[in-house]
Chain A
Amino acid sequence: MNELRDKLVAGKQMARRRLAALPFAEKLLLVERMRERSRLIATSPLRRAGRPGK
């Protein structure tokens, strides 16, 4: 279990480093995309309807 966890953590660190190494302009595009997604989620009818069973 620890081995799997360590592997997952290492994988995440690698992904973070890969993203951090991108040019600033590319990173800003990703920030814009994340913002758009957050807006979509925030305005989703599914979200407004609340969680099932509530």
Chain B
Amino acid sequence: MKTTLQVINQMQADGVIGPYAIGGAIGATFYLEPAATFDIDVFVSLQTTPGSGLISLAPIYNYLTQPPRNCRSENEFVIIEDWPVQFLPPGGPLEEEALEQAITTGVDGIKTRVMTAEHLVAIALQLGRAKDKIRITQFLDGGVLDLPRLEAILDRHGLLAKWRAFRDKYGSE
């Protein structure tokens, strides 16, 4: 995984991508106990194609799949050093904010950026799949959340009612 992060950092240094932030299960692992996952979710701001306004992943795919990197692409993933990586443009204001406010950390001296725990929970709440609900309860049980900060994020993004319903249903102190 370290080499994967180095490749992503190099992409940024080469100007292929801007600042990025790791989300999903790997992002959650920064705060919680490790969880099994098969891929890495990398949120990244992408340039729109000139003249069309469409977001294009082509520069990323071209950079990674051509020599000297020769990474393989598989469905929505690019396999970087044996790890399937999914590059995701922010899907809305919440993910844009999560990308902007991500924290910088290190993995054995390799710099990387991870979304804050509060943004990971807000995104999980917005997505609302079964695995997202489980992750939210793990964050709550783990005591790693700054609840006033989380509520401010949820309020900004219109998720407070959903949050209250979640807490009523799944309980927590």
Contact = CB atoms under 8 A, between A and B. Distances in A.
Interface of A: 13, 15-17, 19-20, 22, 24-25, 27-28, 30-32, 34-35, 38
Given A28-B1, A32-B1, A16 B33 contact: yes
Contact of B37 (A16, A22, A35): A35
A40 to B, nearest CB: 13
16 contacts: A16-B141, A16-B142, A20-B33, A20-B142, A22-B34, A24-B105, A24-B106, A25-B107, A28-B26, A31-B1, A31-B29, A31-B34, A31-B37, A32-B1, A34-B35, A38-B38
Given A27-B33, A31-B26, A35-B38, 14 more contacts: A20-B142, A20-B144, A22-B34, A24-B29, A24-B105, A25-B108, A27-B29, A28-B1, A28-B107, A30-B34, A31-B1, A31-B34, A31-B37, A34-B35
B53 to A, nearest CB: 37
B30 interface: yes
Contacts of B142: 16-17, 20
Given A31-B36, A32-B1, A24 B107 contact: yes
In this complex, the interface size class of chain B, counting residues with CB under 8 Å from chain A, is 20 to 34
A10 to B, nearest CB: 12
B163 interface: no
B77 interface: no
A42 to B, nearest CB: 10
Nearest to A33: B34
